[in-house]
Amino acid sequence: MVILFTDFGAQGPYLGQMEMVIRHVLPVEPVINLLADAPRFDVRASAYLLAALAPTIPRPAVVVAVVDPGVGGDRRAVVVEADGLLLVGPDNGLFEPIIRRSTLSRAWEITWRPQHLSSSFHGRDLFAPVAARLAAGLSPEEAGCEPIAVPRRPDWPDHLAEIIYFDHYGNAWTGLPASLMEGRDTLFAAGQSLRRANTFSEVPSGTAFWYENSSHMVEIAVNGGRAADLPGLAIGCSVTN
């Protein structure tokens, strides 16, 4: 399958244009829109969010990940293989946490270029066609890629103790695995002290708390409300214990 992870938003033509390109090569294979509202222009937050979602992706799969504020600039276009996932997208750090947590990784630079390449939409013109060819069974070399050293961001942390995403309900995902909070009940964020609960019904309505979400990450929520409305809580806000 081909899986899409972008900051494009669900509205507008962008996701549909990417899917059309992929289905032109793979008319019967599934194209899954995993996430279309990754933090806009925020490569680092999106990278840790993608890594949090990656364990739920069945292998083998091709992931087209596009959070690319440097599109049209000098950043490379790459394919990265990490423990059964083929990741296609910009070389801007978006794949760093997945690479770091993998046991085996390889990388290629996408050197193939279409006849017409938009300066602002490589998701449609470059990443989607290469991903479709990979999903059709071509090797990265056959799809127009050349081997390179695996791109790394060694200065990035193993885990990001920050707010990285707000979901539809206003719940605040962090880049912090819940396993790192074992034995700790209190989390501090935006000047607020939050107690741990297993689920929403364990706290009174309107109460903010934190819990281990379905992706095993620390998440801040409000029973019957929106953590996104808590004062000071925003993407990039630090969380501490």
| Mean per-residue pLDDT, 149-162 | 97
Nearest in space to 208 (alpha carbons), one of 179, 181, 239: 239
58, 34 in Cβ contact below 8 A?
no
Inform me whether the pLDDT recorded for 107 exceeds 90.
yes
Domain 2-148 coded CATH 3.30.360.10: no
pLDDT value of position 115: 96
Q: Burial level of 130, CB count in 10 A (0-12/13-18/19+)?
A: buried
| Mean per-residue pLDDT, 193-215 | 97
Name 238's Cβ contacts closer than 8 Å, sequence gap at least 6.
161, 162, 189
Question: The domain at 160-240 falls in which architecture?
Answer: Beta Barrel (2.40)
Residue labelled with tokens 């087209």:
64
Average pLDDT value for the chain: 97
Per domain, the residue ranges of the chain are: 2-148, 160-240
The bridge status of strand 105-110 relative to strand 145-148 is antiparallel
Between the alpha carbon of residue 15 and those of residues 11, 12, 18, 47, 164, the distances in Å are 8, 8, 5, 19, 22
pTM for the predicted model, two decimal places: 0.96
d(CA 183, CA 156): 26
Per-residue pLDDT tens digits for 67-84: 999 999 999 999 999 999
Inform me whether the pLDDT recorded for 227 exceeds 90.
yes
